Structure 1
Amino acid sequence: MAGQGATIAGIWAAALLLWLAFLLFYDGWRRPLRREEIDAFLATLGPRMAETGNDAARLRAFLEADDGREFVMVNLVGTRAGPVTDPDSGETREGSEWLRRYSDPFVRGLIARGGHPLFVGRKVGGYIDAWNVPADPGWSLVGTMRYRSRRDLIRMASDPAFRAAHPAKLLGIATTFSFPTQRQIAFYASPRVTMGLLLGLLAALAHIAVLTIG
Structure 2
Amino acid sequence: MKKSAVMPMFAFVLLLVFGAFWTWQTPGWLRGSLTPQEVDYHIGMLEQNLVMPAPEKNELLARLRAWALADDGRPFFMLNLMRYYPELRRFDGAPAFSGTPLQSNEYYETAVAPLALSRGAYPVYAGMTHGQNLVEHAAELDHWSRVILMRYPSRRAALELFADPDYAPIEPFKMMAMQLLLLPNHADLVIPELRWLVGGALLFLFMATGWWRAATGRLHPASCWRSILRSTSRRLPTDAVRSNLTTYKQKGPESTGL
- Contact 1:79–1:140 (8 Å) recurs in 2: yes
Q: For 1:89 and 1:44, how far apart are their aligned partners in 2?
A: 20
CA deviation map 1:99-128 (0-9, x unaligned): 121112222212111121011121102111
Bigger shift: residues 86-95 or 64-73 = 86-95
CA RMSD of aligned residues (A): 3.4
Q: For 1:115 and 1:83, how far apart are their aligned partners in 2?
A: 27
Alignment of structure 1 residues 1-214 onto 2, 5 Å: 2=2, 5-28=4-27, 29-46=30-47, 51=54, 53=56, 54-81=59-86, 90-130=96-136, 134-136=139-141, 138-171=143-176, 173-188=177-192
DSSP-derived class of the 1:163 partner: coil
Runs of 5+ consecutive residues of structure 1 not aligned to the other structure: none
Q: For 2:90 and 2:43, how far apart are their aligned partners in 1?
A: 30
Which of the pair has more CA radius of gyration? 2
Higher strand share: 1
Q: For 1:115 and 1:89, how far apart are their aligned partners in 2?
A: 26
DSSP-derived class of the 2:170 partner: helix
Q: For 1:30 and 1:142, how far apart are their aligned partners in 2?
A: 31
How far is the alpha carbon of 1:18 from its aligned partner?
1.2
Aligned residues: 197
Cα distance change on mapping 1:90 and 1:113 into 2, 3 Å: closer
Q: Which amino acid aligns with 1:103?
A: E
Q: Which amino acid aligns with 1:146?
A: R
CA deviation map 1:173-197 (0-9, x unaligned): 22111110000122228xxx9xxx9
- Per chain length, whose mean CA-contact separation is higher, i.e. which structure has more relative contact order (CA < 8 Å, sep 6+)? 1
Bigger shift: residues 18-27 or 49-58 = 49-58
How far is the alpha carbon of 1:27 from its aligned partner?
1.2
Q: Which amino acid aligns with 1:112?
A: S
Cα distance change on mapping 1:165 and 1:89 into 2, 3 Å: closer
Normalised by the length of structure 1, the TM-score is 0.76
CA deviation map 1:29-77 (0-9, x unaligned): 3411111111122223338576262343322221111001111000111
Cα distance change on mapping 1:124 and 1:110 into 2, 3 Å: same
